[in-house]
Amino acid sequence: MKSRLAPIAIAVIAGLIFMAGYFVNDRHFLGSAHAAAPVASSEAPMASVALPDFAEIVASQGPAVVNISVTGTSQAPGLGIPDFGSDFPFPDFFRRFQIQPPQGKMPIQGQGSGFIVSSDGVVLTNAHVVADADEVLVRLTDKREYKAKVAGIDKQTDVAVLRIDAKDLPTVKIGDPQKVRVGEWAIAIGSPFGFENSVTAGIVSAKSRSLPAEGYVPFMQTDVAINPGNSGGPLFNTRGEVIGINSQIYSRNGGYQGLSFAIPIDVAMDVERQLLSKGKVTRGRLGILIQEVNQALADSFGLDSPKGALVASVEPNSPASRAGIQPGDVIIKFSGHEIGRSSELPPLVAGTAPGGDATVEIWRQGKAKQLSITVGDLKTADTGSKFDEASDKPSLALGLAVRPLRENEAVEADGVRGLKVEAVNDGPAAKAGIQAGDVILAVNGGSVTNGDELRERVSKAGNKLALLILRGDRKMYVPIKVG
């Protein structure tokens, strides 16, 4: 009997020793960051980083964040789903945020967020929050309420400036978005779904994102939870400085899905400065259409990598034309800034004061060449006070890039004169089915042969108009609803 149990006892003892060794090794593994012998590695050890003190940031900066309530009698823009066309890879995902009733001509009530940038009552928010409001109410965290005046809006960047009659108000600290690194913590304070002064946190996911129909803003992407009602609220860094204005989300259902986008605060502050000092925002222009450079194009042009902005066409008598820029040139630098992607060029050009000089480095026939250019003025009516009727109705709101027909094109079109559609962006024309290559002959029966005529006829046509277009060899009328 004794001899039979011996092997079993030995096996049990061995098993216990093995298990004890396993747990000891496991505990040692868990604590090996402190106790294990150093292992040879070419990588430097990662530093231990403590979480930021979110509560301190909220306590110090939260009082300068406000809730904005608006009332009106018409549907505010940017609340539905922009139509980017059937070819856009992510249809109906980008949404602006604002809480309000369904579409229709009815009294509306909306909510958004904002923040105080000057103690004498200057508040920043999104343009789409207040663009069609009849009355704007600003509510502070201490329950004080003020009726606000819309000092100015800039639809191109979706920035609005409000004024309230108050003194000695708490203000936010302004940061530098250029110093923000991808992967840093970011904090949002706002009023999602009307829940005032809600705080969410995440990280900066990417910088300089270009979104459809938003060519003048290098958006900051985050995974901070942003929902309807957060529009116009501040995005903070870990030092409690505002680095952006929460503006858009990417969503299948209208709610947060991990992708939110903020307007860099330096862009917004420049808009604020211009609106308060001049009543409008001016932007530079070159007069070109550009496209992205892929690997195949880079190889064909002899570029060492896909970079820059390929010039697809040059508007006659434009700043670019006068400077010698030609179709087929690749703009690789603008005023010393390297252009990695084509989307990086429009904000740089727009940020240059009209009449100012810039240096453009182009790639032409396998060689780099520098050109000097005097930047033109980008005419737009999407700026100024909401209550200025002249500026509230854009003179050209079709979402088109057009140019006059050239002589050889007029001959091919049986001698007719008109405007050739070079590109169709997000807007009423795209929704109506206008395509690149169409020739616009008339607006509401009046002929058009240049951009000024088109702009004038569209501005006088009201909300509904009919374009006579030539597509191939067939003429047709296309009804368009503007606004």
Residue from 69, 132, 154, 158 carrying the catalytic annotation? 158
Q: Is 231 a catalytic residue?
A: yes
Which H, E and C letters describe 30-83, residue by residue?
HCHHHHCCCCCCCCCCCCCCCCCCHHHHHHHHHHHEEEEEEEECCCCCCCCCCC
Cβ-in-10-Å burial (0-12, 13-18, 19+) of 419 comes to: buried
**Distances from the Cα of 339 to the Cαs of 73, 212, 414, in angstroms?**
44, 19, 42
**Which of 69, 231, 247, 251 is the catalytic position?**
231
Q: Are 109 and 100 in contact (CB under 8 A)?
A: yes
Q: What is the DSSP letter of 342?
A: G
Euclidean distance between CA atoms 336 and 139, whole angstroms: 44
**Which residues partner with 291 through β-bridges?**
310
**Nearest alpha-carbon partner for 76 in 108, 40, 123:** 108
Q: Mapping DSSP to helix (H, G, I), strand (E, B) and coil, where does residue 88 land?
A: coil
Q: Please state whether beta strands 260-264 and 185-190 pair in parallel, antiparallel, or not at all (unpaired).
A: unpaired
- Residues 112-133 as b or e (16 or more Cβ within 10 Å = b): bbbbbbeeebbbbbbbbbbbbb
Q: What angle do CA 346, 158, 318 make, to 5 degrees?
A: 30
Catalytic residue among 113, 128, 198, 385: 128
Q: How many CB atoms lie within 10 A of CB 256?
A: 20
Give which of 111, 82, 89 is closest to 213, Cα–Cα. Answer: 82
Active centre residues (catalytic): 128, 158, 231
